[in-house]
Structure 1
Amino acid sequence: MTEQLDADVVIVGGGPVGLVSAMDLDGRGVRTVVLEERPYLEPPNVKCNHVSARTMEAFRRLGVADTVRDAGLPPEHPQDIVFRTSVTGTEFGRIPIPSRADRRRGGAVGPDTTWATPEPPHRVNQRYLEPILERHVTTLEHAELRNGVRCESVSQDEEGVTASVRRADGTTGSVRARYLIGADGGRSMVRKAIGARLHGDPVLQRVQSTCISAPGLYDLMQAPPGWGCYTFGSGRNGHVYAIDGKDVFLVHTYLSEEEAARGSVDRDRAIRDILGVPEDFAYRVISEEDWTARRLVADTFRDRRVFLAGDSAHLWVPYGGYGMNAGIADGLNLAWLLGAVVDGWAKESILDAYVAERQPITDQVSRLAMSHLRKIGDTDVPEDLEADGPAGERARRQLGRLAYDLNVQQFAAAGLNFGYSYADSPIIVPDGEAPAYTMGEYTPSTVPGCRLPHFWLPDGSSLYDRLAPWYTLVAFDDGAAGGSWADEAGRAGLPVEVLVLDRALAPAEYTTRYLLVRQDQHIAWRGDHLPEDVPAFSARLGARRRADTADPEALAAARTG
């Protein structure tokens, strides 16, 4: 007798990674339970401030992009990065990032405004983002969010995974599922349960972070506001981020080696120096969090039926919010693969693609972030930065150019968004080498493993809006042959829908007649001639054997476990 399961997938951790994973799985008909210790809608501490373009593209597909874009700073508040001697001091550089109102009006100017994407990035603090995702998950048909529940241990056997839990009222219980995703953060219990260990650079920098309410701070600024402010001056270097565009700010104080050895600095003195305000300026501390910048990656992301995603799998310098965004990318990748197995069309070996795809990218991104941190740390502040006259003006111009060049890469990180490839995946059919990328730059490409280059369709929809849940065969000017091939692939167990497009619409990087694309926008195969051995090709991309997929009872058994 088959054991009754509570869900197909149990997710430990109801932060953005766990919630977005549940949203994606729900769209694939996968029954999911999310376990989260915090009460429902209790906002987290101010953390990540940036939702990347790739994450916004996913939010578009999941139906929450507009809601997310309406949250955070007021519509007209600039999302610029500014460089000043203090928050209220002299400004000597600015990275223009449009407000959400400017983006919607069109014609906005900035380093990310020409990107080939239907959804540019958005600056919104996790304090506002997470409740949006929580509310959305509670409306879903196949997902259940259980708040006030702590997962205390995880065990697995050949048929499933058991999560032992303790509820807020002290009672205990368990949740049984086919698979488990550990999205439970940097101190992950799930990571420890599977014996995974973090390796890398455990200490890169120590930081004091303070969220404050500072009414009147905008009135003291000598230049228009921005979203982020980097301060360089005789007082103290630091970073300040606008949280609500009114009076709430997050202040990062970076400790020197000597200060780190002592364990702290005078928090109030450091905040006043960074803000550039006198002793009688009143502010209120909302929360404090001291943390260490690291570069750590788990030695394994999986043990049989248990998977790690987000901070449970990797911790690195939080530049540009790419810790959270990379974690969400983990969850989306894993949800597609788990959904394929639970749906019944994919063999379980398709799950090997998760580690093969995400672990190398995680290592690449963590090293890019660490390199960026070191470059900024090596920046020399000119002695004359705050001087009057020509010497001061020259110093400010010099540092302003340098600060722009260094930081535009993280705040308009086209490479991190669009440049990475899954070329070594077992379910990608390679035919060339993916172009190299940096944090800030990439080359659009249709080499298998790369992100499908975006373009708009004549009806005003995005190319990505037309991608099917599993595989889409993009066929240029050849719908009949593509349709016949997709039908044959379906009979071989591979779910393929056809999208016929006019070749004249596509940008120059589209060089073949056909492309086979996953819903996560990664290209699985391309060519001018469709594969002839369709059953073998379908199996290569993860499909179960034809005999299995043709048998309704076998499919039902696959779904119920």
Structure 2
Amino acid sequence: MLAEAASFDVLIVGAGPVGLTLALDLASRGIDVAILERRPAGEPPSVKCNHVSARSMEIFRRLKVSQDLRNAGLPEDYPNDVSYRTTTLGIEIARIKIPARKYRYSDKSGPDGWWPTPEPPHRINQIFLEPILFQRAASTDGITIFSETTYSEFREDQSGITAFATSLSGDERQFRAKFLVGCDGGSSVVRKQIGATFKGDPVVQRVQSTYIEAPDLIGRMTVPPAWAMFSLNPRRSGNVYAIDGKERWLVHNYLKPDETDFDSVDRHASIRRILGVGPDFQYTVLKKEDWIGRRLVADRFRQGRAFICGDAGHIWVPYAGYGMNAGIADAENLAWLLAAHLKGWASDAILDAYEAERMPITAQVSYFAMNHAHAMFEQRSAVPDDIEASGQRGDQLREALGKAAYELNVQQYCCAGLNFGYFYANSPIIAYDGATAPEYTMGSFTPSTVPGARLPHFWLSEGESVYDRLGPYYTLLRSDPKVEVTPLLKSAEAHNVPLALLDIGEPSELDYKLIVVRSDRHVAWRSNTSPADSSGLIRTLAAST
């Protein structure tokens, strides 16, 4: 039986973190959204991502959900450190200090304590994160969630898209929308339907991953627990993530190159070697979460009125939550562009900016992740046979390996470059001025106001983050009130382009008196004087000819 088509501005396929973020962002801009999700409402997700980046937390701050997320996850005083040991219960050789969430805003001593952001990163597993986003979306005006509904296909015409789906009861449903966004994961149906193809490296790493319950593990540790505990020994190297900080853990067993069959590797023997326990240690397997790390990026993110976000457009080795966090950045980018067009002040050409901006960034991040995976493999493969030896020889080996592990991995877990350094170099809606944005690495970056870069963060004199004062689309920051901006503001008004004026002091972070910044915190234009052609600048920002 075919139900009558329901109509929305935007139809999202998939209610994971990326789809939910996209829906919340669109709804905050007055856009009517529907989400199709095959799982029952409230069904917990897999134990996947363990980390929300600072950039993602900035997004959640703008959506007024950051504090709810900050209050969830590990116990407030549980160390968020990354610890390197011979085994989970063995000798610690290095520790990357990361504050517990109770001290996250106040503790500036660690390798990411200096970060220029109002929202530091947050260690929280997806099983806690996603339900908070789901409940917020379900209670938000303008968002309708169709759970237990399996999307099948779409058809596009001149005025919109008709999508087809089937409910759990077998009823066929039609949905009408102006735009469709596939946030439906690595096996995305929408990706295939827009003719996009994954390109890259199909196998970078194989990981036998097991979600376990082991109430006695924390009490047996000879050193303080940590959020992530890497075991480095010649028998079996792996990693243990704390899920609830009490008894639930995710154990990653990094398979060797010749171990291509997950089932051929003794799961329980590997877990015991990683933990450093004997056959008497009791634990319960809650779920098998085996995965293959890949480096794949779609060759297109859009066809007509249909888009893809998150894992639907890119998948790679999921270090430090890069995959989910990149998807959340996709969602923020696409949300304001869709809203700008749907609100009528930007032409449909503004939608070209999504692929032009996000595709190069995801390709860059995919290489960062893959190269780091290779470097970690080399380090695991070179663990000395006598790393656990007592005496001076063992101490020297552990000191050397600990130093190397710290230097390699602090850039992964305290990745300032990936958070703050990337920039949009070839966008149709950014007014470039010929300056080159600073290069960045995984762990380092240089703050910059070069158009396309992230606006350097600073605190206003009232103790408020400048990001909290940005408008929903464009904001003109003025550090010198004597600079005349009336023609620019009048031009924006004449073109119906929302451009809010924010007068600030003269913070050292800004090297120009006038900066136009987008709601996603990327610089769109800068100058020390008003533009000679205000109308031309506004047309660029609105993608109008």
Tell me the TM-score normalised to structure 2 length.
Answer: 0.97
1:517 partner SS: strand
**What CA distance in whole angstroms lies between the structure 2 residues aligned with 1:61 and 1:212?**
35
Matched, 1:76 2:77: yes
- Deviation of 1:206 after TM superposition, in Å, equals 0.9
Q: Which residue of 2 aligns with 1:558?
A: none
- Deviation of 1:381 after TM superposition, in Å, equals 1.0
**Of residues 458, 464, 467 in structure 2, which corresponds to 1:464?**
467
Q: Which residue of 1 aligns with 2:437?
A: 434
AA in 2 matched with 1:74? P
* Contact 2:233/2:384 (8 A) holds in 1: no
Residues 265-344 of structure 1: pairs in structure 2 closer than 5 A? 265-344=265-344
* Contact 1:210/1:287 (8 A) holds in 2: yes
**What CA distance in whole angstroms lies between the structure 1 residues aligned with 2:309 and 2:316?**
14
**What CA distance in whole angstroms lies between the structure 2 residues aligned with 1:189 and 1:479?**
54
1:420 partner SS: coil
**Of residues 472, 485, 490 in structure 2, which corresponds to 1:482?**
485
Residue correspondences, number: 539
Q: Which residue of 2 aligns with 1:424?
A: 426
**What CA distance in whole angstroms lies between the structure 1 residues aligned with 2:180 and 2:308?**
9
Residues 148-297 of structure 1: pairs in structure 2 closer than 5 A? 148-260=148-260, 264-297=264-297
AA in 1 matched with 2:377? G
**What CA distance in whole angstroms lies between the structure 1 residues aligned with 2:286 and 2:422?**
38
1:415 partner SS: helix
1:381-430 alpha-carbon deviations (Å, 9 max, x no partner) = 12331000001000000000000011111100100000000121010111
Residues 400-415 of structure 1: pairs in structure 2 closer than 5 A? 400-415=402-417
**What CA distance in whole angstroms lies between the structure 2 residues aligned with 1:289 and 1:75?**
27
AA in 2 matched with 1:98? P
**What CA distance in whole angstroms lies between the structure 2 residues aligned with 1:58 and 1:424?**
23
Matched, 1:132 2:132: yes
- Deviation of 1:287 after TM superposition, in Å, equals 0.5
Q: 1:493 to 1:267 in 2, by over 3 A?
A: same
Q: Which residue of 2 aligns with 1:28?
A: 29
1:29-68 alpha-carbon deviations (Å, 9 max, x no partner) = 1100011111111111100000000000011010110100
* Contact 1:420/1:450 (8 A) holds in 2: yes
AA in 1 matched with 2:15? G
1:94 partner SS: strand
Q: Which residue of 2 aligns with 1:446?
A: 449
RMSD of aligned alpha carbons = 1.4
- Deviation of 1:146 after TM superposition, in Å, equals 1.3
Q: Which residue of 2 aligns with 1:533?
A: 533
**What CA distance in whole angstroms lies between the structure 1 residues aligned with 2:405 and 2:310?**
29
- Deviation of 1:542 after TM superposition, in Å, equals 1.6
1:95-132 alpha-carbon deviations (Å, 9 max, x no partner) = 0000011224x234211111000000000000000000
1:110 partner SS: coil
**What CA distance in whole angstroms lies between the structure 2 residues aligned with 1:479 and 1:249?**
58
Matched, 1:384 2:386: yes
1:472-520 alpha-carbon deviations (Å, 9 max, x no partner) = 00011227723553133211232101000111xx134x21110000000
Residues 84-95 of structure 1: pairs in structure 2 closer than 5 A? 84-95=85-96
* Contact 2:429/2:543 (8 A) holds in 1: no
Tell me the TM-score normalised to structure 1 length.
Answer: 0.94
* Contact 1:161/1:178 (8 A) holds in 2: yes
- Deviation of 1:261 after TM superposition, in Å, equals 5.1
Q: Which residue of 1 aligns with 2:98?
A: 97
Residues 50-65 of structure 1: pairs in structure 2 closer than 5 A? 50-65=51-66
Q: Which runs of 5+ in 1 are unaligned?
A: 546-561
1:520 partner SS: coil
1:309-357 alpha-carbon deviations (Å, 9 max, x no partner) = 0000001010110100000100110001000001110000000000000
Q: Which residue of 2 aligns with 1:556?
A: none
1:509-544 alpha-carbon deviations (Å, 9 max, x no partner) = x21110000000000000011113222221111255
* Contact 1:237/1:274 (8 A) holds in 2: yes
AA in 2 matched with 1:14? A
* Contact 1:50/1:124 (8 A) holds in 2: yes
1:273-306 alpha-carbon deviations (Å, 9 max, x no partner) = 1011110111001100221110000011000100
AA in 2 matched with 1:220? R
1:259 partner SS: coil
1:197-252 alpha-carbon deviations (Å, 9 max, x no partner) = 10100011111110000011011101001000110114310011000000000000
**What CA distance in whole angstroms lies between the structure 2 residues aligned with 1:119 and 1:365?**
21
**What CA distance in whole angstroms lies between the structure 1 residues aligned with 2:327 and 2:156?**
24
**What CA distance in whole angstroms lies between the structure 1 residues aligned with 2:107 and 2:328?**
30
* Contact 1:345/1:544 (8 A) holds in 2: no
**What CA distance in whole angstroms lies between the structure 1 residues aligned with 2:6 and 2:541?**
28
Matched, 1:357 2:384: no
1:247-281 alpha-carbon deviations (Å, 9 max, x no partner) = 00000011112221575311010111101111011
